[in-house]
Amino acid sequence: MIFPDYRPRRMRQKDAFRRMIKETILTSDDLILPLFTIKGKNVKNSITSMPGHFQLSLDNLIKTVKEAHELGLPAVMLFGIPDKKDSLATKAYAKNGIVQNTIKALKDAVPDIMLITDVCLCQYTDHGHCGVVDGNHIDNDASIELIAKTALSHAEAGADMVAPSDMMDGRIAEIRQALDANNFSDVPIMSYAVKYCSSFYGPFRKAADSAPQFGDRRTYQMDPANGLEAIREATMDVEEGADIIMIKPALPYLDIISRIREEIDLPMAAYNVSGEFAMVKAAHEKGWIDGKKVMMETLTAIKRAGADMILTYFALEAANEMKK
């Protein structure tokens, strides 16, 4: 392929040619919309750093989920904002907790969209950590018991898939056992398998009121400097029974997405997180970039890197854009 015999520009001259040789095609099937559910009536609290996103009470949430379904999104991911927090996150696994109630109501209102639930304790603990705290230390094995209990309570309420985001060791096996022992062997687990200790979660922690009250998450989330460790984490979760492996964040970790794609043959998700979303929105508002084009380029890049599905706050906007 030596110039002038091969001229790559030849195939870029016409739109039809460009379409024919396009390697990555993004569709609404690839996108999952994260949503924040809160108690009350007609609540729609803006999340300042995430324009277009809100803490929604059920009535408003139903409208958004219907819109998502009509736009062809296969699933939404639910995050609960409880009315009370305590040291053992009891509202995370309460029968009538915010997520449990939301699932039941959504299943009636919009039966055909899949409901994935984020399974974690940090929104529900008064200290804001993703596990049980003992002094300054997070007790791994006590935490996974409560995490499995939370996952089971979501399945009992009707969740189609559970997605643990806590990064405790052994939680996938613990959840799988709890689900199987209770007749939920058909409920899959989407594991936040490779979750980095990232500063890109800032806007989300405000939205979900889940920032740690002391210290940080470095003793359980991964060091951004590590790549091989991602393979170990993903492999463990496959062995423990995960059905989908997630990498998070997405854009600063495209190398990890493509490495995991080579190593692991399970379906793979990537989470285009709150900070990634906020940066695009902020730069667009300043008139520094074209936010819509950057959105489409970002999502295409994440898919090109190897993700089969993308959790993204852009899901509705991108699905709308693709309809045009």
How buried is 252 (Cβ within 10 angstroms: 0-12 exposed, 13-18 middle, 19+ buried)? middle
Which candidate in 41, 84, 107, 248 is catalytic?
248
Q: Which residues lie closer than 8 Å to 229 by C-beta, 6 or more apart? A: 222, 223
Location of structure tokens 């399974």: 119
Residue 81 CA to residue 79 CA, distance in Å, equals 7
Question: Treating both helix axes as pointing N-terminal to C-terminal, what angle do 228-240 and 254-263 enclose, rounded to 10 degrees?
Answer: 50
Respond yes or no: is residue 149 known to be catalytic.
Answer: no
150/210 with CB nearer ligand PBG: 210
Between vectors from CA 181 to CA 178 and to CA 185, what angle results, nearest 5°? 85
**What minimum distance in Å lies between the beta carbon of 12 and ligand PBG?**
35
**What minimum distance in Å lies between the beta carbon of 273 and ligand PBG?**
4
Which candidate in 85, 91, 195, 303 is catalytic?
195
The encoded tokens of residue 88 equal 């053992």
Residue with the CB atom nearest ligand PBG in the bound state: 204
Q: Helix, strand, or coil here: 286?
A: coil
Respond yes or no: is residue 248 known to be catalytic.
Answer: yes
172/273 with CB nearer ligand PBG: 273
**What minimum distance in Å lies between the beta carbon of 210 and ligand PBG?**
6
273/315 with CB nearer ligand PBG: 273
89/234 with CB nearer ligand PBG: 89
**What minimum distance in Å lies between the beta carbon of 322 and ligand PBG?**
22
Give the chain's length: 324
Chain residues binding ligand PBG by CB under 6 A are 118, 120, 122, 130, 165, 201, 204-205, 210, 273-274
Catalytic residues: 195, 248
